[in-house]
Structure formats: C-alpha cells, structure tokens
Amino acid sequence: MSNRYRLLIETEDKKGLIHQITGVILKHNLNIEQNNEFVEKSCNRFFMRTDLSGEPSRSLFDDLSRLLSSDQVVRLIPKRKKRVVVMATKEHHCLGDLLLRNKYQELDIDILAVISNHDYLRSLTESFAIPYHFVDCACLDRGEHENKTLRIVDSYDCEYIVLAKYMRILTPDFVGRYGDKIINIHHSFLPAFIGANPYKQAYDRGVKIIGATAHFVNDNLDEGPIIAQSVLNVNHTHSAEDMARSGKDVEKQTLARALRLVCDDRVFICKNKTIIFE
C-alpha cells in the first residue's frame, strides 16, 4: 500500500501555480487524494494543502522550488499523530477532555506529558498513564521556574505545546523558542475581555453571548493568531458564576477543535491571522 503524505506550500502568488504544482506531483507518480488552495490578496500569498499517496523522490523539492518564489515554504509531512506536551494549572476540564480524546484516539495527537505549576491534576493525569511533572511556581523565581519547565519540555521533543488553562504568562524567551507551536485556550470571545476575569467583565457589560478562543501564542497577551472560536447564548438571568460554568464546556470543545485543525495540518499563519482549510 502506498505511503500517505501531506504537502504544504506557501509562496508568492502567480498565474498557473496550481497547474504547475500538480504537474510536478504527476511527474513524480504521486496521487492527489485531496487538495485545497487559497490566495490571500492583501499580501499576494498563495497557500496550498494537498493529501498525497505514493513514494516521493528526493528531487520533488528541487522541482517544486524552481516554480516558486524565493520566500517559499514547502513541507512534505508523513500523515501521523503529532507529539504534544500539555501545560496546566488547577482547572481540570480542558485537560481531562484532552486526555480522554487522546486515550480513544479522537485527535491525531500523542500526549507525551503534562506539566503543571500546581500539583492538583496529578491523579487525573496518571490515571491515563501519562507522565506528570510538577514545577512549583511558589518555590522558584520566575526565571528558574521557566528554565526548569523548558528543560522538561525539551526532553520530550514535542511538536506542539498546549496550554490547557495554564494560568501563567510565558516570557518572550519561552514563546520565541517554540515559535508558532504554542496553542492557548482563552475563556473569552477575543478580542473582547482579554486578561483576567473575563466572565466577570462579560457579566458587568450585560453581554448576550459568551465564548472561547483558541489561538497561537505570541508576545502580546491573548493577541496571537486565532484558530477557532465558539459562542454560547446567555441572558440577564445568568450570573458571572453561571457564565463561567457554561463557559467550561465551550472552552474544551473549542480547544479540541483547534487541535484537530492544527494537527491535521489545516492551519497556515499569515501575519497575525490564520488561513484554515476545513
């Protein structure tokens, strides 16, 4: 049976690209099983995601490179699960949901470990036979705590870090080290109500919907490229506590959806927004 791959291309747009690229794929005796493409006109960038079967040769990249602009990004990825490390604090709903989905293979992820700055979620994590690392934020200064956390993350050679209600701001050094590989779930429909206590902010404003946003992490708090968002209707009878309780369901569903998209290689980052092939 032929091996299955995913070809991801980002390049400057020009006429005839799809015809030229698919011609190279045919030349290398590869079969296209699914194809998506999009042009972001504001910056003239072409994005393409292609599911392939067959055995690509080493010259595939050379043949593609001759067609594309000098600032091209070309990746050929075997279709497999992505290696993930989850970081958490005290709240269990997002972590528990991911552990269940991981156990029953509902997402294309392999959770390698959970790291937490509190020791609340050890029994939950270890009940799924996943390693749990407690890095006490109360006993270490900020730099020491982050360096110890980084050493643990590095030891797992993960592809993505998921912040499942990790209630601690990461420094630019941490974020820069992992680039666009950190995914956060925020308990608000961004860009509204950033920072702390979003449900109290929402209640005080008398909002009629609440939501959750999964996004990549950058150096600006809660302003990274958005991957997925969901909303839930509320009304004047809902207290801030009611909103927070309902919001937990939205948060875990939104985070799972974002992970499904990212780990299925359906998300491209274009400046500070995303191109998503659903």
Active-site residue (options: 222, 249, 264, 265):
222
CB atoms within 10 A of CB 93: 16
222 is catalytic: yes
Structure-derived torsion over alpha carbons of residues 275, 72, 20, 67, reported in degrees to the nearest 10: 170
Rg (CA), the chain: 21
Q: Strand, helix or coil at 226?
A: strand
Amino acid of residue 222: D
Task: Calculate helix-pair angle for 93-103, 240-263, nearest 10 degrees.
Answer: 30
Crossing angle for the helix pair 198-205 and 240-263, to the nearest 10 degrees: 120
Q: List % helix, strand, coil for the chain (3-state, nearest 5).
A: 30, 30, 35
Element (H, E) at 96: helix 93-103
Catalytic residues: 222
